[in-house]
Amino acid sequence: MVNAWLCTEEGTLKVAYTHAEENGVLGLYGMTDADAKPILFCSCKDNSVRMYELPTFLERGRLFTRQEVRSFEIGPDGLFFTGDGTGLLNVWKWLEEPKVPSS
């Protein structure tokens, strides 16, 4: 279960959104995409990283690796890095959506 918490005006925390992740969560990482939308990365026990748009938890995609992703780091200019249990380091980059010319 993944909970997104909200700080109230009184200074207390409350659960604003809840998402059931069926594949077990190993780690959570946050960053923004190329359009500056907040994205939550969930490293799961099925050797994938699921990407969710916040606050809706709309799935934006998945990254697949050989083993469970054990490390995640955000870099400059939309780059991010994952390291899995095999010792493999992957470098990823957000791509902007292609612009379709309007007629």
| CA angle (59, 70, 58) in 5-degree steps | 5
Is the overall model pTM greater than 0.75, yes or no? no
C-beta separation of 8 from 14 below 8 A: yes
Over residues 54-66, mean pLDDT: 87
Residue 95, pLDDT > 80, answer no
Per-residue pLDDT for 53 more than 80?
Answer: yes
Phi, psi of 63 (to 5 degrees): -110, 135
Of 6-10, 83-87, 95-99, the range with the highest mean pLDDT is 83-87
Average per-residue pLDDT for the chain: 83
Helix (H, G, I), strand (E, B) or coil at 69: strand
User: Is residue 52 helix, strand or coil?
Assistant: strand
Q: Work out the average pLDDT over 84-102.
A: 75
